[in-house]
Copies of this chain bind each other. A is one copy, B any other.
């Protein structure tokens, strides 16, 4: 099992967009430059987040992406599902219905026991991710990150927006 690398990028971008000046936008190239990742590929994930309604896209010069909602109204789970898809990690293929112990379809009223357990774990995972918002992440970064790094980030913003 493995989570797409784009999820990490999407979350970092969301955090950066959350501290943007109001009504400002940041294009793909800038976001890629800040995070040191290939712009062409990052674009793919930003488009996915835009399609999911997490980001608003602004075309033309001075355009780019910005958060579509308040940072407190976007959960980590939202980003994960936008980039990585929302299909559950475990998919029951109903193998209990095959082989010598198979019976008529109407006999299978309750879901497969294994399916139930996996779904419960999946729900716990999603619940944890839904608890944290992008605003929470911003607060965590502000508290945990090195002051030097924060100042360098602020300086980078200054150079762009003047």
Where the two chains meet, the residues of A that have a C-beta atom closer than 8 Å to any C-beta of B are: 1-5, 7-9, 11-12, 15, 33-37, 76, 84-85, 87, 89-93, 95-96, 98-103, 107-110, 113-114, 116-118, 120-122, 124-129, 132, 137, 140-141, 144-146, 148-150, 152-153, 156
A128's partner among B9, B121, B140, B152 (CB-CB below 8 A) is: B121
The main secondary structure of chain A at its interface with chain B is helix
In the complex, the answer to whether B5 meets A107 with C-beta atoms within 8 Å is no
- Give the nearest-CB partner of A139 in chain B: B113
- Give the nearest-CB partner of A94 in chain B: B8
Contacts of A126 in B (CB 8 A): 121
Task: Tell me the minimal C-beta distance from A113 to chain B in angstroms.
Answer: 4
Residue with the highest number of chain B CB atoms closer than 10 Å, among A35, A101, A116: A101
Report Cα–Cα, A117/B126, bound state, in Å: 11
Oligomeric state, in copies: 2
In the complex, the answer to whether B12 meets A101 with C-beta atoms within 8 Å is no
Report Cα–Cα, A100/B5, bound state, in Å: 21
A90's partner among B7, B37, B89, B98 (CB-CB below 8 A) is: B7
Report Cα–Cα, A56/B118, bound state, in Å: 25
In the complex, the answer to whether B121 meets A125 with C-beta atoms within 8 Å is yes
In the complex, the answer to whether A99 meets B11 with C-beta atoms within 8 Å is no
In the complex, the answer to whether A121 meets B117 with C-beta atoms within 8 Å is no
A33-B100, A129-B121 given as contacts; is B8 within 8 A of A114 (CB)?
A: yes
Contacts of A84 in B (CB 8 A): 1
